[in-house]
Structure formats: C-alpha cells, structure tokens
Amino acid sequence: MRVLLTAGPTYEPLDPVRFLGNRSTGKMGYALAEAFATEGAEVTLVSGPSQLPNPANPLIRTVRVETAAEMFAAASAVAGEADVWVFAAAVADYRPAQIATEKIKKSGETLTLELVKNVDVAATLGQQKRAEQFAVGFALETTNELAHAQDKLHRKNFDLIVLNSLRDAGAGFGHDTNKVTVLDAAGQIVNFELQSKADVARGLVSLILARRAVNY
C-alpha cells in the first residue's frame, strides 16, 4: 500500500526575512507516517517547515517543502500512485500578493498587506480522486466544529475527516497529546479521547485501514 501524507505548516514569504505561517509542528502528521510504515505501507511524507527530524523508517520518504504551492506540486507528483491520501498539513489559505526583494522597513503607524488565495491542496486533488483511492482530511475548528468539518468532508471529497478543536485542553498545535473526532460522509462519529499523538495515530491508521477494506 502506498500512502501520500502531508504534515506541518506552510510558510508564505513576505520578504527575505519574514513570512506568514501558523503554529503547526507536524507532530501529528509525522506520527501518522510512522504508524502507516509500521503497518508496512510505503509513505511519502510531504512536510512543511518543521523542527522534527526526518523519520528514520526506510519505508518513509520525506519531501521537505515551504509554501502551499510547493506542497501542492510535491503532493500532485505522487497522488496518482497512492492508495491512501492523508492531508494532515495546516496549509496557509492565503499568501502575500507581492514578495518584497528587500527587507520591509518600518515606516508609518500601519502596514497594509494584500493577500491572495493559495491553491487548496486537498480540494484540488480531491477532484481527481479515483473510486479506489481513500482520502482523509483534517479540520481544526473553533466554532460549529461538527458542521464545519462535515462541510469540508463533502467539499473536498474526503472519505473521513479528523476534527480537532482548539477548545479541548491538550489538543491541537504544539502538544504531544491529541483528542480528535472522526466523521464519515454518513455523519457517523468515532471519538478518540486525549492520549499521545503516537497512540492517536495508531488508532487512526487502524480505523482508516478498516474503513478502506469495507469501502473497497
């Protein structure tokens, strides 16, 4: 089995020293890569900027990228051959319309930035997904969590979506633990209580493999 897995943040450059980004560490995605490899899958881990070292497991090939455009290009290159797609990266929705060639100097009391929309990696690839491929997305929400996650699942042609809530203590960015809810297209829900991200990853991989076997 071949797995495409995205992880970590993306950084969208503003000038040679600054960028727009987010607090994702990549810990959940890297844990998933290890869990899939333990099951014998060949994993292509497309990682945004992360302080984590490349996984040592020989079944995991790590591709380092920085921007959303680079992540899309790297994911697109292997998506057609992958049996399972897992989009765990926190991809920036927007990027600066212009990248300054020199460091932007402080001037005036305000600074206005024009942002343009990035490619939606998961949604764009979802339009190309074949019936035998299985896609899993992640959603990090702060309000109306279940409704937003269900909407994202349908819009992006996912088979499952993993929901994080920033309102759950010990879950989300920066933690070694996580608490998630998994939804499918029928609205069925599986809850994973707070535990290490490695344990969450093993549980998610078991669920993904079981659902894929039933579906296909």
Q: How far apart are CA 37 and CA 204, in angstroms?
A: 13
Question: Of 176, 191, 205, nearest to 145 (Cα)?
Answer: 191
Selecting among 22, 54, 57, 118, the annotated active-site residue is 22
Q: How far apart are CA 48 and CA 9, in angstroms?
A: 5
Question: Of 10, 25, 19, nearest to 172 (Cα)?
Answer: 25
Q: How far apart are CA 64 and CA 116, in angstroms?
A: 23
| Residue at token pair 């996912």 | 158
Q: How far apart are CA 40 and CA 42, in angstroms?
A: 7
Question: Of 51, 47, 20, nearest to 33 (Cα)?
Answer: 47
Q: Is 191 a catalytic residue?
A: no
Q: Which residues are catalytic?
A: 22
